[in-house]
Amino acid sequence: MLRWLRRRRQAERLAHADAEALVRDHGAEAYREARERERDVILPDGTTHAGRTPAHWRRVALVVAKRTGHRVGLDTATRMAKDADFSPDQKSGDLRARVHSSPPSPLDELKRILSRR
């Protein structure tokens, strides 16, 4: 049991060290780099970049996300569904207009207002 705890602590220290190196070397792109290393070609011995396992780089990515404030956990479809309003009193046209990820251009907004008249 004690050996397992030591290995786990050592793995955590190594993950934090790799996360620090990624943030130092890649800045804002550190999270993407960690995920890319997680998906690198797996060698015959089951390791990836720098002899680390995919689970190690997954752990590093989470440490980087905590340090940089990167949001983790929601894919695009989940974020869109979370922002949508599925209440029954909404018309589908109104729903489509409200789910834009960025503010509409002034020309599109003018067209929308004029089309209602």
For the question of whether the overall pTM of this predicted structure is more than 0.95, the answer is no
Q: Is the pLDDT score of 41 beyond 80?
A: no
Residue type, 46: G
Domain that holds residue 8: 2-68
- Average pLDDT of span 70-83: 70
Q: Does the pLDDT of residue 88 top 90, yes or no? A: no
Q: Is the pLDDT of residue 66 over 60?
A: yes
Residues 17 and 61 in one domain: yes
Rounded to whole angstroms, the Cα distance separating 56 from 41 reads 14
Residue 51 confidence (pLDDT) above 60: yes
Same domain, residue pair 55 and 93: no
3-state secondary structure of 56: helix
Average pLDDT over residues 104-108: 79
Average pLDDT over the chain, rounded to whole?
80
Looking at the structure of the chain, the number of domains it has is 2
Indicate whether 26 pLDDT > 90: yes
Separation between Cα atoms, residue 106 and residue 113, nearest integer Å: 11
3-state secondary structure 2-26: HHHHHHHHHHHHHHHHHHHHHHHHH
Whether residue 46 is found in the same domain as residue 29: yes
Report which of residues 110 and 99 the model is more confident about: 110
Q: What is the pLDDT of residue 64?
A: 94
Give CA–CA dist 56/35, Å, rounded. Answer: 10
